Structure 1
Amino acid sequence: MDATATDSGLLQLTEIVLTAEVVNGNSALGVNDLPVSLRPLFCPDAPGIIARPVAIKEGQLKTYFPNLAARSLIANGKNSYLVVNDLGQFAATTFAPAMKWYLRQAGTEAVMKNPALALSYETSGESGISYKIARENIPLFEDTVASLTGKIGALTAKSESFREAADLVVAYAPEEIEFSLEDLVCTPDQMAIVRKVQISLENQEFLRRHRIYELGRILLVGPPGTGKTSFALALSRSVHMPVLEVRLSMLTSQYLGETSKNIDRIFDLAKKIAPCILFIDEFDYIAKTRISDDNGTMKRAVNTLLKSIDHINLIKDQVLLIGATNHAGMLDDAAWRRFDEVVTFTLPDVSMREAILRHVATDIPCTMDFATIAEQTEGFSGADLRMMLTEAIVSALLAGRKEINESDVNAGMELVNRRNIARAGCT
């Protein structure tokens, strides 16, 4: 083991041991006070739940940090503040000197990635260290895949109904979603809805106390490709909630009464996973049958859906319900009344098309006149514009270039036009 690896490993081991001591001494600290790398070690029994008192044992270190030769590091004697007992448990001999040693060796930047240690240093008067900023430097556990899979796994392990519900949804943790609202070109009305949701979440206790519950049921309406699904997914990152996405066509079943049961299962799952976003795409798929289908089973399923919406709530249940439809005219009044907010997504006008093009092409080497292209793409959705630029990149790569030009963009435009003509011919 070279000196650099030894020093790095010793700092890692010291951080683990000191973090355990700080966590054991402050019961108010939780999983979001731990660096991401330490969360599995400190929460071995249930994701997100610290197993107190935290004991740093050799066997656990080998499990979670297989490359950390902990006992050898102590034997080298570079840090006299760490010991391991006969039971293979690691500890600090004297806490305060060990903390000072770690800060000198690791530096403030490393400490600011560990909120638990940052709080201890800040409390002891160390300058340049802020617990609040350290918390902001690491992702919330609620945003992680581990949090979401842990919740779903715990539910499905105990209930056949929840296993069936989990099979009907696509679940996304916020950290899995690769784009944020800042990556989208949103209208002021759309961003106003985002702010309203954020304010509602920040003031849940106040709203609950005053019995103000008519919040958090949003319907997104507009043509395909205008950003409804992207908006719902990006909102996940802004409000730190996972998304359970379901298409209503997936809930229908040939078996009598099974469609209604599927709807109940989905809503029950959302309440158990909460806080979360329940995103129902193709909302018109079942709701339109209320007036257009003579099938009694389907009509009962629609009634189940509407009643389920009535009994789910952002303030009471911490479930943000978002429905999306390409065919708003197919929804009857009963469906419309269930939503507190209706957000319209339209085909972008010329100025918005130019903004979308500039945004999407931010990191793409290109020589093109965005204003001219925006003029030439009347009727293109945001998805069409992104597809056009993707095809332009492929066109450039096929020509042996990594910079797109006007001919590449024209190739992309032709592809989108052909697709739109073909789609129109099928409707």
Structure 2
Amino acid sequence: MPDITLDIIELLLTAQVYNKYPELDVNDLPKQVRKFYWNREQRTVPKPIRVKTTDIEKLFDIDSVDSKLKMLPFVAIDDMDFSVRITALEVGADWFQKRDGSMDKIAHNPVLAYHYEKKQAEGADYSSAKSKVRPKEVDREWIESLIEEISKEEGGGEMLKLAQISAPEDIRQTLREFILTTEQEEEVKKIVKAIQYRDYLKRIGLYDVGKILMVGPPGTGKTSLAKAMSEHLAIPFVEVKLSMITDQYLGETAKNIDRVFALAKKLNPCILFIDEFDFVAKTRSSDEHAALKRAVNTLLKAIDDISLTNDGVLLLAATNHPKMLDSAAWRRFDDIMKFPLPDTDMRKKILDIVTKEIEGDFDTSEIASLTHGYSGSDLRMVIREGVLTALVTERTELTQKDMLNAIAAFDERTVIKTNEYED
């Protein structure tokens, strides 16, 4: 029997079992099914799921459903509405279980694992299957549902213009791909536990957690790590650049700050990432404009008023210029995460990760030793330069010479950028 038939029967069984048991919810559905049948207005996959022939054709990219199912006596296609269903659930379940590859599908499908565990089928484990399916909050469909709801509220459209919102599934670089310092690893672990034990923290009255200031030179991974944490924690990522919400009318800047924090609370649980934190929260001087002072004070008060424990918002702020921040800004954060330039060992590990899919004869140890002062972003630019240069001569394998030439080209650009270039 073709594999595609097994996939179709899995879908039909999943729909029927999901409809049958009220205790099963949207997070029990395999991601592909959940995304396909997602209802934006209801922000879930409503019951009952009714599978139609067109659904099967779209999901599995086939032309004729009849030809795949006509030999199965327990499947019926309605000639009126073209719905497809299993007429005898247990017959269909028994047929499915006996097919090669079915147990692997059951192991990754909480809905089916739940049903087969109830049948006491050997190897069926609902808890294990559930752990392999990420929650609905990772999906772009979930974010779009929230955005649509917020847009209908008074002032919602203005709030949404101020931030870039990403779903966890949109984020490419995961925590596993990061080379972190020991301090950074410990900080990430604490953040993960704080979210995991949020109810406990609320019960004991510990509210001043989940406000982290990320400090370090450009290109050291502040934004990338914040996004990777969103992917790891399966919560939306709300990114705001303070320079983008600063209005020519400074009174409007204060309003924009309030709108951003209100948006984060509506999207909770989420990460609110404030980039260019020093843009507004800089050292305040006596001759500063009163409206700018009000904007700064609005920002500091908004930070005071938001809480991971109460509001479900993890606040991460990033700055390349920590000396520009005054003591009032520093006091708002319960922890500081430092992002130093990588040492030789870290550069070697970063290069190994970036080049893991690149074929060729090159020595990342030598490259690491020659790139003192490079950030992780700089190293990626060097690799990109080497790859593109090789492609010009129709080569997809890199040599050490390609890498060394790429370093030289990067260093030349750096000289130009720092105004040390002389004609």
Tell me the TM-score normalized by structure 2: 0.90
Secondary structure of 1:298's aligned partner: helix
Match of residue 322, structure 1, among 311, 316, 324? 316
Question: Does 2:364 correspond to 1:370?
Answer: yes
- In structure 2, the partner of 1:26 is 21
Q: In structure 2, what residue type is equivalent to 1:81?
A: F
Aligned counterparts, 1:383-402, within 5 A: 383-402=377-396
- In structure 2, the partner of 1:82 is 75
List structure 1 segments (4+ residues) > 6 angstroms apart after TM superposition.
58-66
Contact map agreement 1:47 1:146 (CA 8 A) in 2: no
- In structure 2, the partner of 1:250 is 244
- In structure 1, the partner of 2:88 is 94
The 2-side partners of 1:362 and 1:59 are apart by 41
- In structure 2, the partner of 1:155 is 150
**How far did residue 341 of structure 1 move?**
0.9
**How far did residue 409 of structure 1 move?**
1.6
Secondary structure of 1:186's aligned partner: coil
Question: Does 2:323 correspond to 1:332?
Answer: no
- In structure 2, the partner of 1:36 is 31
- In structure 1, the partner of 2:192 is 198
Alpha-carbon displacement from aligned partner over 1:123-160 (angstroms, at most 9, x marks no partner):
2111122223322433432112111122112211x125
Aligned counterparts, 1:113-124, within 5 A: 113-124=108-119
Alpha-carbon displacement from aligned partner over 1:70-104 (angstroms, at most 9, x marks no partner):
56766x2x222233557635443322222111222
The 3 A distance-change label for structure 1 pair 295 and 391 is: same
Contact map agreement 1:31 1:50 (CA 8 A) in 2: yes
Match of residue 16, structure 1, among 6, 11, 17? 11
Secondary structure of 1:290's aligned partner: coil
Alpha-carbon displacement from aligned partner over 1:357-396 (angstroms, at most 9, x marks no partner):
2232222223333333222222111111111111112222
The 3 A distance-change label for structure 1 pair 358 and 59 is: closer
Q: In structure 2, what residue type is equivalent to 1:354?
A: K
- In structure 1, the partner of 2:122 is 127
Question: Does 2:33 correspond to 1:49?
Answer: no
CA RMSD of aligned residues (A): 2.5
Identity, % of aligned pairs?
39
- In structure 2, the partner of 1:211 is 205
- In structure 2, the partner of 1:140 is 135
**How far did residue 66 of structure 1 move?**
8.2
Q: Which moved more, 1:230-239 or 1:92-101?
A: 92-101
Secondary structure of 2:155's aligned partner: helix
**How far did residue 189 of structure 1 move?**
0.5
The 3 A distance-change label for structure 1 pair 84 and 376 is: closer
Contact map agreement 2:258 2:302 (CA 8 A) in 1: yes
Q: In structure 1, what residue type is equivalent to 2:162?
A: L
- In structure 1, the partner of 2:306 is 312
- In structure 2, the partner of 1:111 is 106
Q: Which moved more, 1:378-387 or 1:22-31?
A: 22-31
Tell me the TM-score normalized by structure 1: 0.90
Q: In structure 2, what residue type is equivalent to 1:388?
A: V
Contact map agreement 1:48 1:141 (CA 8 A) in 2: no
Aligned length: 418
Q: Which moved more, 1:88-97 or 1:203-212?
A: 88-97
- In structure 2, the partner of 1:225 is 219
Question: Does 2:398 correspond to 1:381?
Answer: no
Gaps of 5+ in 2: none
